[in-house]
Amino acid sequence: MKRILMIFLTVLLIGSSSAYAKYKIDHLEPSFWWTGMKNTSLQLLINGENIADLQPEVNYAGVSIMKVSRVANENYLFVDLKLSEITKAGSFDILFKKGAKTILKYEYQLLERKAGSAERVSYTPADVMYLITPDRFANGNMANDNVEGLPEGLDREQKDGRHGGDIQGIIDHLDYISDMGFTSIWSTPLLENNQTTYSYHGYAITDYYQIDPRFGTNEDYRKFSKEARKKGIGIIMDIVLNHCGSEHWWMKDLPSTDWINNEGKFTSCSHKRTTVQDQYASKEDLKQFSDGWFVESMPDLNQRNEFMSKYLIQNTIWWIEYADLYGLRVDTYPYSDSEFLIEWNRRILEEYPNLNIVGEEWSTNPAIVSYWQKGKENKNGYVSNLPSLMDFPLQNALVEGLTEEDTWGTGFIKLYEILVNDVQYPNPNNLVIFPDNHDMARVFNQLNKDYNLYRMAMAYILTMRGIPQIYYGTEILANSNAGGDHGLLRMDFPGGWEGDEVNAFTGKGLSTQEKEAQNYLKKLLNWRKTSSVIHKGKLMHYTPEHGIYSYFRYTGKEKVMVILNKNTESVHLQTERYHEMLKGNETAKDIISGKIIQMNEGIEVPARSAIILEIK
């Protein structure tokens, strides 16, 4: 397969003797590296026919071979290099010798690390993520819709097929994303998924160092990051550590029987994530969870294998450095080996101390989710290094709080009480909060297509503690009409394809309500972008009463009050109850209507609405 790399490399066969013709190099990863890294070791995975017969040799100032490891398969070598403090950027040959004779030669390149790379800033509560499924967002380059050598081509009629969205499509609409008020983009994986079917989603990776050609090239991805930065938008990469695609090149010739869990044979995962933390869990149940495969097309990687562990760690660092990433999101976080996750996070944060990383632990139980956050003192002694988690408990409480009738134990009280669980998190402000994502029904559907509830949900997500994430299309009331059918809920964004009758980028063809929703979210996002009290403020909330839930975000200088009213009638809310926050003579500005309110006269809250008040 043609390799699309940004660096010139050569593999030469030395000599004409047919005795040496059996040797070759098919893969050497990572194909280049950087000087100036905190960790000075680098392990190369080298794959090619009979490569283990040969002995590598390096002659370059500041670079030495510390160790050469051979495994069961003679087509693999693992070479550990040491890069000293004096190592300069440049190229050198790795010689592969048999006795005194050089059989193969590989030109390796060390690049100079970008100034300030280690100190890069990352996403914080001042950000709002825009989550995109690239195949379904916009087709910016129709020339890559079908690529020779990749079996699955364009088929927009198939809900689970490839629809043609790509990196250029996102680049073309960065102005829209910026104007809406988003400050970062998390896209589902863009790496090669050379699977025969159902490859659009990106989670069955077949080459960890290669952007899928149907999305673009490695250079396109770096351009995407660079162009986004110019508009104040950082790129968050979706990392898959737990599994690869069944068509990954190494699956045809595994380095060793323990490279893939269950000796490379499909064994279904139990998906019982609690076994990792459960003090009563059997070892057999834990094994069925940790070592089981998601599906047959996604082999489960064995991170207990030392070479696999280093491979995944270095691959993550490579992409951060190469693409100038703003942060990471980690797919199916607890499914990976828990001890490996400690080391993976440690190594990433060793190189990038300020980098934010959010893990996916899909549980509505805060005790399960909080287990993984950095700083949590767990009863079993497990010490996690992961900075952030996706706040699935809050998402679930938001939907139930808005859709259920208010009683002693249902409705708004769930939204109120879920926050008491913040005591379980070392840093609740660093959790990523969201109304929906790419794996669940659209929030508009979850809220029974009630536009008033939708507006309340958006107001809540964009004023609550944490880092908000909004899925593409939410701004125009995207609805799946299919429950959790992934192929349908990951809809084509209107206007992303030539000939689309509706264009959400320009507003053409949108309904009045869809335009109103888009403008509402745009106003909220751009207000939030400049609201330091939302970014840094503390939270105080009041128990729900009579269909009203209210809370404050506040600092020593600023206050914002949020009121959610589920009643079918407007409510005149007296302010005496809020004396801890209000002194009785403040005025407030409604950030949506611009109306000025005298707080001591009470607050008129329209039926089925949310109001956000900046208090002066």
Q: Where are the domains of the chain?
A: 11-112, 129-244+306-393+433-534, 536-615
Give mean pLDDT, residues 397-414.
97
- Is the CATH number 3.20.20.80 carried by domain 129-244+306-393+433-534? yes
What does the pLDDT look like over 494-516, one tens digit per residue? Answer: 999 999 999 999 999 999 999 99
Q: Specify burial of residue 38 (Cβ count, 10 A radius: 0-12, 13-18, 19+).
A: exposed
Pair type for strands 11-13 and 101-112: antiparallel
The reported pLDDT for the residue numbered 2 is: 39
Percent of the chain past pLDDT 90, that is, above it, reads 94
For residue range 546-579, list pLDDT tens digits in order. 999 999 999 999 999 999 999 999 999 999 999 9
Q: What is the mean pLDDT of residues 357-374?
A: 98
Polymer length in residues for the chain: 616
Annotate 247-263 with b (16+ C-beta within 10 A) or e (fewer).
bbbbeeebbbebbbbbe
Instruction: Tell me the mean pLDDT in the region 582-603.
Output: 92
Q: What is the DSSP string of 466-526?
A: SEEEEETTGGGT---SSTT-HHHHSPPPTTSSTT-S-BTTTTBT--HHHHHHHHHHHHHHH
pLDDT surpassing 50 at residue 11: no
What is the pTM assigned to this prediction?
A: 0.96
Class (C level, CATH) for 11-112:
mainly beta
Same fold, 11-112 and 536-615: yes
The pLDDT of residue 7: 34
Which position among 127, 192, 291, 331 bears the catalytic label? 331
pLDDT, one tens digit per residue, over 102-113 is: 999 999 999 999
Per residue in 53-63, pLDDT (tens digit) is: 999 999 999 99
- Enumerate residues 6+ apart whose C-beta is below 8 A from 583: none
Residues 342 and 337: their CA atoms lie apart, in Å, by 9
Q: What is the mean pLDDT of the chain?
A: 95
The pLDDT assigned to 13 comes to: 46
Of the listed 172, 212, 247, 360, which one is catalytic? 360
The DSSP letter of residue 154 is B
Active site residue 331: yes
Looking at residue 585, its pLDDT comes to 78
Q: Give the pairing of strands 587-590 and 596-598.
A: antiparallel
Strand order in the sheet with 609-615: 538-545, 548-554, 559-565, 609-615, 587-590, 596-598
Confidence band for 19, pLDDT divided at 50, 70 and 90:
low
- Cross-strand partners of 559: 554, 615
Does 583 or 176 have the greater pLDDT score?
176
For residues 427 and 420, what is the distance between their CA atoms, to the nearest angstrom? 13
* Helix residue ranges per DSSP H, 198-305: 218-230, 283-290
Residue 22 has pLDDT above 70, yes or no: yes
Question: Which pLDDT score, from 0 to 100, does residue 1 have?
Answer: 41
Per-residue confidence (pLDDT) for residue 584, from 0 to 100: 75
Segment among 16-25, 330-339, 438-447, 483-492 with least mean pLDDT: 16-25
Per-residue pLDDT, 20: 65
Give CATH superfamily name and number for 536-615: Golgi alpha-mannosidase II (2.60.40.1180)
